[in-house]
């Protein structure tokens, strides 16, 4: 599941999943 790039303030792309949202 490539849903790690679903955030405007996301610095990680494949380090963590969509649960890690630093831009939330």
pLDDT in tens, 1-24: 555 556 666 665 556 666 666 655
pLDDT at 2 (0 to 100): 55
What distance in Å separates the CA atoms of residue 4 and residue 1, rounded to the nearest whole number?
Answer: 8
Tokens encoding 20: 């890690």
* Residue recorded with tokens 């790039």: 5
Count the neighbouring beta carbons within 10 Å of the beta carbon of residue 12.
13
**Residue 13: both structure tokens together:** 């792309």
Give the Cβ contact number of residue 10 at 10 Å: 17
pLDDT at residue number 4? 56
């Amino acid at each position: 599941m490539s849903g790690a790039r679903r955030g405007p303030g996301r610095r990680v792309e494949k380090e963590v999943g969509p649960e890690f949202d630093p831009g939330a």
